[in-house]
Amino acid sequence: MRITYITFTFLSLTILIACNQKSGSGESGRQTETVTAALKTEYEAHNGDVFPMNIQKGGSFKSVDQIRVQAMGIINHRVKEQPKALAMLTYAYWNPEFVYNAGSISGVGDYDGHWIKFDDDFRYRHGINDKVTGGGRYHFRLEDKSLYMLDDNVEYEPKVWTVNYNGSVMAIVGTHEYKVNNGMQIKLVEMDNKPVI
């Protein structure tokens, strides 16, 4: 059942991208190109250090500080309710193989060397090859498949993801809770170790 769901999710994503490419002319095509160029510029400005989950979208609906305080409260509450991290997340390093955001999908190999590691103490680290570029707090609840993430970098808004897990592959889909990652999708692939140069 999970394999079918994940296959359906990626098939839907592929169809959506194909349809978007066909109708990419006109105003919507220019908007997609502008957003994609802005994301690429942000990525390059950080010398590739921005982990895909931390790519920001424009617009502010609350102050970042207020949102972060709220998210920390939610994570702390959830940790008290469910104080044991789930091995399905913590047993491996995860590589973002593909990222779909703002109408475009990353190319093959765009995130080679990138990784994220969820630890048993509800902390996560992310990086490129042997370099750790950041980290934060998280909590994953299996009942509703929700993953809350709050990066240590105070400039990043918290994110909430719906997790679709199938052994060595995990697809996470951004929710509307904090809006910044709404509709964003990332395919994460299991790795035994973090990559080295």
Q: Do 51 and 134 contact (CB within 8 A), yes or no?
A: yes
Percent of the chain with pLDDT over 70: 68
Note the pLDDT of residue 27.
43
How far apart CA 78 and CA 83 sit, in angstroms, is 8
How far apart CA 50 and CA 144 sit, in angstroms, is 28
Per domain, the residue ranges of the chain are: 2-191
Span 2-191 CATH architecture: Beta Barrel (2.40)
As given in the structure block, the two tokens for residue 73 are: 């409260």
Q: CA 105, 194, 102: angle at the middle one, nearest 5?
A: 15
As given in the structure block, the two tokens for residue 48 are: 């590739």
Note the pLDDT of residue 102.
84
pTM flag (> 0.85): no
